[in-house]
Amino acid sequence: MKTTYRILILVSLCFLAFTKGIAQVIPVDEDTKQVTYKEVITQEGTAAKMYNQGIEWVNSFYPNPSDVTRVRDPDNGKIEIRHRILVFNLDKDGNKTTQANIVEYVMILEFKEGRYRYTITDFNVKKTSKFPMERWMDKTDPEYVPVCDIYLKQVDEEVLKIIKSLKEGMKPKVIKPDNW
């Protein structure tokens, strides 16, 4: 009996450590209280050149780029993307089993001389009414269940993949001269 009780406490502590770790990893804007990934990246180039690189990245990253881009404003150096992330239930080994939710997000790319900025925010779980993803982080919310932490981790991993791909796509292209 004592062994079972100790194992239960150990599993509970591990679960709490896991869920607290997820909540600390996901960035929340202090002013809006929304999950927000935001960074300014310094890079050589004009705003127009970086805007074109941003469009190239959007066209290569998203399967239907004209559908996901709501704003393409080269004059003001702004691209607005609305897309979604699929979230899955996992089996005991961590493998995806069934689709659980769709999380919609907004990504804004802004370009200025020598730098660009991305902002990824406005995460909403697709339901019949607006359901901010931040509710998955609130353990007092009536809709909260422990699997929400797993969903948050999946969203975070997907957003980090998007950011990594964006940064790679925005790097200046190396043009090799054809010396023949």
| Total number of domains constituting the chain | 1
Residue 62 within a domain: yes
* Residue-wise pLDDT tens digits, 61-119: 999 999 999 999 999 999 999 999 999 999 989 899 999 999 999 999 999 999 999 99
Q: Is the pTM of this model over 0.85?
A: no
Residue 3 within a domain: no
Residue 13 within a domain: no
We report the CATH number of the domain holding residue 150 as 3.30.530.80
Q: Which two tokens stand for residue 89?
A: 């239930």
Contact 114, 47 (CB under 8 A): no
Which residues span the domain enclosing 154?
A: 28-170
What count of residues does the chain have? 180
Residue 177 within a domain: no
Residue 73 within a domain: yes
Q: Any long-range contacts for 2-11 (C-beta under 8 Å, 24+ apart)?
A: none
* Residue-wise pLDDT tens digits, 13-32: 344 444 444 445 899 999 99
Contact 145, 88 (CB under 8 A): no
Residue 179 within a domain: no
Residue 8 within a domain: no
